[in-house]
Amino acid sequence: MANDRIETALSEVLDRITKKPSPPKMSAALRHAVLDGGARVRPKLCLAVAYACGDQHESRLAAAAAASIELIHCASLVHDDLPCFDDADLRRGKPSVHAAYGEPLAVLSGDALIVAAFETLARCSAGNPIRANSLIVDLALATGAPNGICAGQGWESEADIDLAAYHRSKTGALFVAATRMGARAMGEDPDPWTTLGAKIGEAFQVADDLRDALLDSEQLGKPAGQDAVHDRPNAVAHLGVDGAVKLLDSILEGALEAIPPCDGDKALRAIVRQQAERLVPVGVARTVA
């Protein structure tokens, strides 16, 4: 259900931004960057929070919020795969955008997806213009500078990395946006939802470290062992596999505890557990039931 809403919302955006007179190759690159692939972890979290806050699978603003977050995530993958960053030829099990369409269209497609994310929210403002504006600010805070995902990636150009700021911005910011915007779209105060997003972001980072260290490129759908190659901080290198798994489980417990009291908290708890399971490589011993 959530999946259908996300794909429908994303398809509508892609139809809008690839119609004439868009240059044909750029249209293809935009579709390549967003459709067919991607676990949609962030938009699912956003809709799960909206559902917990009373969305009956019908809020256009919640669907727009979810889609806008995924568009920013896709844009960040396209730009992060560029030769000047990860130089990755593989993404989501297919060629990265720059590998398939060249570097110029990879830069431009990423730019256009960022634009499309904000446009999507502004276009869903009917009836709730104030809420739409607040969602745009939420998304901007998670995306740009001083502490969105762009700033997070920017830490990799510093000699002295502020590790806490790096992780909080690079991975955490969009998860925080997911929970906050899911609540905000339903007219709820987003502040009590910040910790849940931050904890899930932390968990996701550790799970990603485990996957990067333990899986091969085919299993990952992207180049493996990249943290070691790029000398990036990785929890497995720091704590070992067992230590990283213990850390992951303790963060997840914290995430579950951070869910604010609401009508849908049980369902949300189940979704968080289920998504968390999907993140961890099969065969890794776990302590959280």
Interface residues toward a second copy, by CB under 8 A: 16-27, 30, 75, 79, 82, 84-85, 101-105, 107-108, 110-112, 114-116, 118-119, 121-123, 125, 129-130, 132-134, 136-137, 140-141, 143-148, 150-151, 153-158, 162, 165, 169
| Minimum separation from the CB atom of position 225 to a second copy (A) | 20
Judged by beta carbon, residue 140 or residue 256, the one nearer a second copy is 140
Closer to a second copy by CB, 154 or 192: give it: 154
Nearest to a second copy of 99, 239 (CB atom) = 99
Question: What is the Cβ-side half-sphere exposure of residue 11, based on CA atoms within 13 angstroms?
Answer: 7
Report the nearest approach of a second copy to the CB of residue 15 (Å).
10
Q: Closest approach of Cβ 24 to a second copy, in Å?
A: 7
- Our CB check for a second copy shows the closer of 51 and 101 to be 101
**H helices within the chain, ranges in order?**
2-17, 24-34, 41-52, 60-80, 97-101, 103-123, 129-143, 149-154, 163-167, 173-185, 194-214, 217-220, 226-229, 235-257, 265-279
Residue 90 neighbours by CB under 8 Å, 6+ apart: 96, 99, 217, 221, 222, 223
Compute the least distance from the CB of residue 88 to a second copy, in Å: 14
Q: Which amino acid is located at 11 in the chain?
A: S
User: In Å, what is the CA distance from 89 to each residue of 35, 82, 108, 132, 213?
Assistant: 17, 9, 17, 36, 19
* ω into 43 cis (within 30 of 0): no
Q: How far is the CB of 10 from a second copy (least distance, A)?
A: 14
> What's the rounded Cα separation, in Å, for the pair 266 and 288?
17
Of 172, 110, 114, nearest to 140 by C-alpha is: 114
Per the listing, tokens 């901080």 go with 233
By C-beta, is 155 or 249 nearer to a second copy? 155
Q: Please say which residue, 93 or 146, places its beta carbon nearer to a second copy.
A: 146
Nearer to a second copy, 101 or 204 (CB): 101
What is the smallest separation between the CB atom of 93 and a second copy, expressed in angstroms?
24
Question: What's the closest the beta carbon of residue 179 comes to a second copy, in angstroms?
Answer: 20
CB of 114 to a second copy, least distance (A): 5
Residues 272 and 256: beta-carbon distance below 8 Å? yes
Pick the closer one to a second copy by CB: 141 or 241. 141
Q: How far is CA 242 from the centre of its chain?
A: 26
Q: Shortest CA distance to 255 belongs to which of 209, 207, 220, 215?
A: 207
